[in-house]
Each structure stands twice: as C-alpha cells, then as structure tokens.
Amino acid sequence: VSPASRATARPVRATLTHDYIIRTALAIIDRDGLDALSMRKLAAELGSDPMAAYHYLPNKAALYDGVVEAIYAEMDLDDLSLSGGWREYLADSARRMRDVLRRHPKALPIIATRPAYPPSILAMADHSLRLLQRAGLPPSAALDVISCLRAYTVGHVLAELGEPVGGPTTATEDAATAMAAYPHLAAAIATGYRPDEQYERGLLALLDGFARQRSPRQARDATRG
C-alpha cells in the first residue's frame, strides 16, 4: 500500500461484489442516513464509476432490498430456546427482532415498508405458529398473534428511534411547549421516557391478552367490571 493510496482514505477496492456493495450501502445509511445514500456516493465509497453497481443490481430499489435482507440476516436464532412455552418463545423472538431494528435506526423506513421474507423471519414465524396451534389456536388466529406482535414491535422502534422521513423538522414549537396546555400529559411526560420498560410492558400485555382470548369464557367474565 503506497502512502498516496493510504492518504485517499476510502477507495481500497475489493473487486466489487453484490455482497460488498450491499454492505457498503448499509454502512453509508447507518453513518449518514437514508437520504445520504446515492448511487454516486456509493460508487465513490466503493472506488468505482457510479454505473459499476448496475452490473450487480437492476436499480436503486434493489439496493434497498439487499440492505433490508442484510439487516434481517443479522438476526441469528441459533441460541433461541425452543424448549419453553409459546409465550416465552414469542416474547424472545419479538425482543430479538426489536434488537435488530434498533441497531439500524436510519434504515427503519425501508425495514418497515419493504417486503422481505428472509429465512430467519420465516423460520421464527413457522415455529411460533406451531407452538400457538399446539396450544389450541386455529391457524388464522395464530397468524393474527404473530402479525400483531410484529406490528407492535416495528411501531414501537419507529416511535423510539425513527428519524423524520423527508428531512429534519423546521424547529417550531417542540413537544414540551405544545403540551403545557394538557396537564395529565405534561405530568406523565415529566416522569421520563424509558423505552425498554415501555416496550416490555406492551409486549407482556399483548401476550397476556392473547392468552386470555385463548379461553373465551374466562375472558368474558373478566370483561365485566
């Protein structure tokens, strides 16, 4: 490595691979944000012509798809305990999903909206459904359970870490001042924001609620009063 090439920071070049392109794109997103990722900037980071990536990808949307796939691939399920009951398994896999999303806050808009069916997610879903059906739930109800858990998890991470799509808000009144007129809201917010505890509470509430739906008689009794 010559001193000159060391001085030019990035372009060390590793022959360009689909995988290498995707990993570089994810690095740019994590570092500079979703809007900062352009085909031209990606090329500069790769040390190639802006058009070189098009030999491995049909368009920029495919780049996004690859990035989402790469993120989900980070979720390893090997140490996910299969021995516990359905509640433990569903809770653990939801927490694991949350952890992965939280690792890439700048990528949340594409994670939350681009379709992706990576083996990790599908395997988790399949095992979840198996456990739920074994516990007495019909297939459609079981699917509802895991769909709602996923929706809750994505929504919660988005609320916690999601950056405004379309660029930063023009600083007008912030939350604190707007809420001054609402006493209960102001008081509640003053107690602080603890996203981990909040997520955990909602997760357990969802699981408890679904467990109760499993036995309708019990649920009906509890609803009164």
Partner DNA sequence: ACCTGAACACCGTTCAAGT
Q: Looking at beta carbons only, is 166 or 183 nearer to DNA?
A: 166
Residue of the chain from 12, 36, 73, 189 that contacts a copy of itself (CB under 8 A): 189
Which spans of this chain sit near DNA (rule: CB under 7 A)? 15-16, 37-41, 43, 48-52, 54-56, 59-61, 167
Residue of the chain from 8, 123, 136, 220 that contacts a copy of itself (CB under 8 A): 123
Where do we find the tokens 């352009």? 38
Q: Looking at beta carbons only, is 21 or 101 nearer to DNA?
A: 21
Q: Is 2 in the site for a copy of itself (CB under 8 A)?
A: no
Q: Is 77 in the site for a copy of itself (CB under 8 A)?
A: no
Q: Looking at beta carbons only, is 10 or 117 nearer to a copy of itself?
A: 117
C-alpha distances in Å from residue 50, one per residue of 9, 23, 42, 105, 129:
18, 16, 7, 26, 45
Three-state SS for 102-152 is HCCHHHHHHHHHCCCCCHHHHHHHHHHHHHHHHCCCCHHHHHHHHHHHHHH
Site for a copy of itself in 158-177 (CB under 8 A): 158-159, 162-170, 172-173, 175
Using alpha carbons, select from 58, 193, 35, 204 the residue that is nearest to residue 110: 35
The distance of closest approach from Cβ of residue 172 to DNA in the complex, given in angstroms and rounded to an integer, is 16
Number of C-beta neighbours around residue 174 at 10 A: 9
Q: Is 114 in the site for a copy of itself (CB under 8 A)?
A: yes
148 phi, psi to nearest 5 deg: -70, -40
Q: Is 179 in the site for a copy of itself (CB under 8 A)?
A: yes
Q: Does the CA dihedral 62-74-125-204 come out positive or negative?
A: negative
Partner whose footprint covers residue 40, from a copy of itself, DNA, none (CB < 5 to 8 Å by kind): DNA
Q: Is 98 in the site for a copy of itself (CB under 8 A)?
A: no
Q: Looking at beta carbons only, is 17 or 218 nearer to DNA?
A: 17
Let me know how long the chain is. 225
Q: Is 73 in the site for a copy of itself (CB under 8 A)?
A: no
The distance of closest approach from Cβ of residue 60 to DNA in the complex, given in angstroms and rounded to an integer, is 3
The distance of closest approach from Cβ of residue 2 to DNA in the complex, given in angstroms and rounded to an integer, is 18
**64 CB-side CA count, 13 A:** 19
